[in-house]
Amino acid sequence: MTKNYFPDDFLWGGAIAANQAEGAWNEDGKGMSVADVATFKPKVAVENYKAQWHVGLEDIKAAKLTDDTVYYPKRRGIDFYHRYKEDLALFAEMGFNVLRVSIAWTRLFPNGNEDTPNPKGLAYYKALFTEMKRLNIEPLVTLSHYEMPLYLVEAYDGWASRDVIDMFVKYCKVVFEEYKGLVNYWLTFNEIDSVFRHPFTTAGVVEEKYADKKQAEEAIYQALHHQFVAAALAKKHLNLIIPDAKMGCMLTKVVHYPETCNPEDILLAQQENRNNMFASDVQVLGEYPTHVLNYLDDQGFNITMTDQDLSLIKNYTVDYLSLSYYMSIVTSIHADQREKVSGNLTSGVKNPHLATSEWGWQIDPIGLRVGLIDLYDRYHVPLFIVENGMGAKDEVEQDGSINDDYRIDYFQSHLEQMHLAIKDGVDLMGYTSWGCIDIVSASTSQMTKRYGFIYVDADDYGEGSYQRKKKKSFYWYKKVIETNGADLS
Ligand code: BG6
């Protein structure tokens, strides 16, 4: 690298979510969330990525009858709830100046509809953020990362119900008041667009409650609309309570390539890319894109959207756009005759030019650069990569070392492309790698799909010492941060 284009104030760190890390699912007054009913599902068929996420009414009923934490791994996480000081010290040793975490809504409002928050939940996050500040780690806090109170799913149909907006806003106001002075970077909904892929996990929408697929789809659009309104209201209250703080939205960036130069393939890929950016169009530009409104109309969907909703969405757009990036995908008008690949996010046509991870996700560092440029050219707001990484199985050697060169290769190639995107003119605020310490997988609830620089001695069944160990990549990332990205070797 000749010149270093990473800005001096670049935010370097990692990301985790409460429901995949904390454990302590029923301690200190915490209520059940949608994550506490998610079961262990080892790798499922490529064609069936949606099955990884499926939760139905019977599953909820069964989950409520048991305290089991083996079959429900998110209930145990990696015990971050009790070990956060040790983990933060390791992040500080790597040089993190930012850490993305989420607040479990159910630690503060166990059912979501209480009038006052649970003091023990408030105290936990205060202690967490205070310790982060002490270590000069800026908290980047997601308000909702697949952690909706289960009670709101059962009593209100999740986000399909308008009542949930008020309950979410009440929760946001409490946390803004409580953590002002400690938290300056906020995100509303993790991968808000993921409601189309896993409506239950993202928005508490149980598809089987609806008469048919069409009605379920209508409920999904309604739920998403309510989240857009809630996010705008969260931004409005953040402006009032912590005027200097920044609010972002969060998009799953999937880059779609056309399979050939056949104009029909090109058009299909363009449409997929536009669909991918639907939520960020709303949250950054402040308006529903016409193609989505026309789609809703064509389908005969009756989505309740008041003028007041639309003016909130218009007036309270975000300060920055954050994104996850894991893979690109090929679109083809002949998709049904092609070999497929799949991640936790999407499935599509296999790209012959790309390798895949052990879990079938296509590894495409250049796609990250393409995605960043597309987003910046479209929105002209600062971007923040808040998730990127590769799930892999790690081996602990006889001498206790973990030589995860594959992970270093993955990050190195992605950071190189990120650097080039900055050189291309993209305003990038920071980078938080996903699962900087091994955590429970969101889609399959596995432990053995590891993303971390720090190994956690726990297996898929919760057995192990939970001791933390530095992997080879720990030292590599430390050097990257120390040199502000100048040394990626
Ligand atoms: C993202 C989610 O979609 O992908 C994370 O925001 C998740 O919560 C990450 O962990 C990786 O997916 P998985 O299923 O491998 O954990």
Quick check: 448 and 393 in contact, CB under 8 A? yes
- Tell me how far the alpha carbon of residue 360 lies from the centroid of ligand 1, in angstroms: 14
Pick from 52, 1, 47, 26: nearest CA to 446: 52
In this structure, are strands 185-189 and 340-342 parallel, antiparallel, or unpaired? unpaired
Residue 3 lies in a domain: no
Residue with tokens 């064609």: 47
From 191, 217, 259, 272, active-site residue: 191
> What pLDDT is attached to residue 345?
66
> What pLDDT is attached to residue 134?
98
Residue 487 lies in a domain: no
Residue 200 lies in a domain: yes
Is 397 an annotated catalytic residue?
A: no
From 138, 178, 259, 387, active-site residue: 387
Look up residue 454 and give its amino acid.
I
> What pLDDT is attached to residue 56?
92
> What pLDDT is attached to residue 49?
67
Per-residue pLDDT of the chain (489 residues; tens, 9 = 90+): 579 999 999 999 999 999 999 999 999 999 999 999 999 987 654 456 677 788 999 999 999 999 999 999 999 999 999 999 999 999 999 999 999 999 999 999 999 999 999 999 999 999 999 999 999 999 999 999 999 999 999 999 999 999 999 999 999 999 999 999 999 999 999 999 999 999 999 999 999 999 999 999 999 999 999 999 999 999 999 999 999 999 999 999 999 999 999 999 999 999 999 999 999 999 999 999 999 999 999 999 999 999 999 999 999 999 999 999 999 999 999 998 998 887 666 678 999 999 999 888 899 999 999 999 999 999 999 999 999 999 999 999 999 999 999 999 999 999 999 999 999 999 999 999 999 999 999 999 999 999 999 999 999 999 999 999 999 999 999 999 999 999 999
Pocket of ligand 1 (CB under 6 A): 17, 20, 190-191, 324, 344-345, 387, 391, 434, 441-443, 449
Q: Whose CA is nearest to atom 10 of ligand 1?
A: 442
Taking the C-alpha atoms of residue 341 and residue 319, their distance in angstroms, rounded to an integer, is: 35
Ligand 1 atom with the shortest distance to the CA of 52: 14
Residue 229 lies in a domain: yes
Residue 2 lies in a domain: no
Q: Whose CA is nearest to atom 12 of ligand 1?
A: 442
Q: Helices in 8-53 by DSSP H: which ranges?
A: 18-21
> What pLDDT is attached to residue 50?
72
Ligand 1 atom with the shortest distance to the CA of 344: 14
Is 154 an annotated catalytic residue?
A: no
Best of 19, 252, 387 to mutate for ligand 1, by most ligand atoms within 8 A of CB? 387
> What pLDDT is attached to residue 186?
99
Taking the C-alpha atoms of residue 392 and residue 270, their distance in angstroms, rounded to an integer, is: 31
Q: Whose CA is nearest to atom 7 of ligand 1?
A: 442
- Tell me how far the alpha carbon of residue 444 lies from the centroid of ligand 1, in angstroms: 9
Best of 434, 437, 446 to mutate for ligand 1, by most ligand atoms within 8 A of CB? 434
Residue 1 lies in a domain: no
pTM: predicted TM-score of the whole model, two decimal places = 0.97
Would you put residue 104 in left (φ > 0), alpha (ψ -120 to 50) or beta? beta
Ligand 1 atom with the shortest distance to the CA of 345: 3
> What pLDDT is attached to residue 44?
57
Helical (H) or strand (E) element with 266? helix 263-276
Give the number of other Cβ atoms within 10 Å of residue 159's Cβ.
Answer: 29
Q: At what angle do helices 163-179 and 213-241 cross, to 10 degrees?
A: 30
> What pLDDT is attached to residue 296?
98
Task: Write the CA distances from 32 to 26, 180, 200, 472, integer angstroms.
Answer: 7, 27, 14, 37
Q: Which CATH number does the domain housing residue 308 bear?
A: 3.20.20.80
Quick check: 222 and 199 in contact, CB under 8 A? no
Residue 292 lies in a domain: yes
Q: Whose CA is nearest to atom 2 of ligand 1?
A: 442
Interacting residues of 105 by C-beta distance below 8 A, sequence separation 6+: 33, 112, 143, 144, 147, 148, 149, 168, 171
CA-based diameter of the chain, in Å?
Answer: 65
> What pLDDT is attached to residue 46?
45
- Tell me how far the alpha carbon of residue 299 lies from the centroid of ligand 1, in angstroms: 31
Domain count along the chain: 1
Ligand 1 atom with the shortest distance to the CA of 17: 8
Taking the C-alpha atoms of residue 223 and residue 219, their distance in angstroms, rounded to an integer, is: 6
Pick from 82, 76, 87: nearest CA to 15: 87
Ligand 1 atom with the shortest distance to the CA of 191: 6
Taking the C-alpha atoms of residue 94 and residue 474, their distance in angstroms, rounded to an integer, is: 7
Domain residue limits at 441: 11-482
Residue 465 lies in a domain: yes
Residue 431, both tokens: 């980078």
End-to-end CA gap in the chain = 10
- Tell me how far the alpha carbon of residue 305 lies from the centroid of ligand 1, in angstroms: 30
> What pLDDT is attached to residue 472?
98
